[in-house]
């Protein structure tokens, strides 16, 4: 019997060197532009897909994942949920991924199930996620935080389920269920909501000093983990927002009263972290309390004192952060006063980011707030209103947004090699004047993509923001 000669492939399967399981290497970062010599539609790409390099870290595009609380940690450590949640993003082409608000002290968590980085035992759970993201050529950072007077509460679904059963009480997590109701700390003993939230104790000078050390220690753990960047959480009514805001800060020492005193702690923390951290450093700010309709101007007309936290003070804080060496200001809003009057709509927070972008030219600006379409996101950057786009809920609704945005904006970017067949529509060698030529035989109808598109020219790249 003659055995036929078979065409044996001579090369071993490639793998990511050093990774603990088999993992095929990505040719280039997922979501990065393919070679414009082959893909001529990439010669003059939309700005959403222009890479940006900060302190030696290259972010392959400007569609970035904002930190999103998952309330699914175990004594501060990441769980399988986080590995799947964040790992899936790394496969979908986001220019940056950020781990949610991570407490630098145990009492700085929002809920007992929040992430934390206050002890070395938590490092390994973060390394697992970061190692995977880096193995697929992704960029990942972390948001370090302290919840302040909003700490020791319960997860939103836990509260909702209780309400549906008729419960009308507060949302303070008890010691029995992992909370710390008697150790909730704020700048002043003022509850966010006395009917629902904890009654905080005023942070002592000693506590403030220990908190600065806790931030510094967490930075050392971030180095051990291998994060690409760190964001300081100064927004949404949590501790650093509480300190800068005259609504929640009634102190009479060096951390209260004047604007310089109220912004002292965030600046001290940023300076400590800048000294210890040589990679990109971000700061998330709530640029307004949205209290114009309730309390009048940010600066009281009668006495000239600051009445609440708004865009004028945010601009001053941002310039000081930029001078310290903070690289990116992540411009959000609200969360520190129940009287806020927010008018949400597409790009509703963009004017705040745009204001900062014009006023503080030596810092990169991130925009947030109901940014949900490729053209909307791209136009914000094209028009110079922000440098990057942070997305949160849209990530959860449409995790493939970066690849879909590339398709909509008429450019070709790299999908994960495992998912390549699903993106035949995008991976075409397209000339603006010629019919598409498909890359290595992949067609638009493979992978159950449906009928072949009749379009022979790329889609429009720019439209106005809704």
Q: Which residues does the annotation mark as catalytic?
A: 238
Collapsed DSSP state (helix, strand, coil) of residue 90:
helix
CA 7 to chain centre: 49
Q: What is the number of other CB atoms lying within 10 angstroms of the CB of residue 44?
A: 9
Q: Which of 102, 343, 127 is nearest to 227 (CA)?
A: 127
Helix (H) or strand (E) holding 316: helix 311-324
Cβ 60 vs Cβ 32: under 8 Å: yes
Collapsed DSSP state (helix, strand, coil) of residue 357:
helix
Give φ, ψ of 442 to 5 degrees. -70, 130
C-alpha angle 287-264-322 in degrees, rounded to nearest 5: 60
Cα dist. 302→296, 298, 310, 418 in Å? 11, 12, 17, 64
DSSP 192: S
Give the CA radius of gyration of the chain. 24
CA 269 to chain centre: 19
């Amino acid at each position: 019997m003659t055995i036929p000669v078979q065409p044996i492939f001579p090369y071993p399967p490639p793998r990511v060197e050093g990774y603990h399981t088999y993992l095929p290497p990505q040719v280039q970062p997922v979501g990065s532009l393919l070679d414009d010599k082959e893909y001529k539609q990439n010669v003059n790409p939309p700005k959403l897909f222009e890479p940006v390099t900060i302190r030696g870290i290259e972010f392959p595009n400007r569609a970035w994942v904002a930190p999103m609380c998952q309330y699914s940690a175990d004594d501060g450590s990441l769980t399988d949920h986080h590995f799947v949640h964040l790992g899936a993003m790394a496969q979908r082409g986001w220019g940056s991924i950020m781990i949610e608000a991570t407490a630098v002290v145990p009492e700085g968590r929002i809920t007992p199930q929040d992430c934390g980085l206050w002890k070395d035992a938590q490092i390994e759970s973060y390394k697992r996620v970061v190692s995977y993201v880096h193995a697929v050529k992704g960029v990942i950072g972390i948001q370090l935080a302290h919840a302040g007077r909003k700490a020791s509460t319960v997860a939103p679904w836990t509260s909702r389920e209780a309400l549906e059963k008729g419960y009308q009480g507060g949302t303070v997590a008890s010691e029995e269920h992992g909370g710390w109701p008697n150790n909730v700390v704020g700048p002043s003993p003022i509850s966010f909501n006395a009917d629902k939230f904890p009654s905080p104790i005023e942070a002592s000078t000693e506590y403030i000093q220990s908190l600065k050390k806790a931030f510094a220690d967490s930075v050392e753990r971030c180095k051990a983990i291998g994060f690409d960047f760190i964001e300081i959480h100064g927004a949404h009514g949590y501790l650093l927002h509480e300190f800068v805001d005259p609504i929640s800060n009634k102190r009479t020492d060096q951390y209260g009263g004047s604007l310089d005193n109220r912004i002292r702690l965030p600046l001290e923390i940023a300076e400590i972290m800048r000294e210890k951290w040589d990679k990109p450093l971000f700061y998330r700010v709530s640029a307004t309390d949205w209290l114009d309709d309730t309390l009048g101007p940010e600066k009281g007309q009668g006495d000239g004192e600051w009445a609440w936290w708004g865009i004028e003070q945010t601009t001053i804080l941002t310039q000081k952060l930029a001078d310290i060496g903070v690289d990116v200001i992540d411009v959000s809003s609200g969360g520190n006063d129940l009287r806020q009057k927010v008018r949400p709509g597409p790009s509703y927070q963009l004017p705040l980011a745009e204001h900062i972008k014009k006023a503080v030219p030596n810092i990169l600006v991130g925009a947030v707030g109901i940014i949900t379409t490729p053209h909307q996101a791209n136009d914000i950057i094209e028009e110079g209103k922000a440098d990057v786009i942070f997305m949160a809920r849209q990530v959860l609704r449409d995790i493939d947004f970066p690849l879909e945005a590339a398709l909509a904006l008429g450019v070709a970017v790299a999908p994960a090699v495992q998912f390549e067949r699903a993106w035949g529509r995008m991976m075409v060698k397209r000339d603006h004047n010629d019919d598409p030529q498909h890359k290595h035989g992949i067609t638009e109808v493979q992978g159950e993509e449906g009928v072949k598109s009749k379009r022979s020219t790329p889609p429009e790249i720019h439209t106005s923001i809704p």
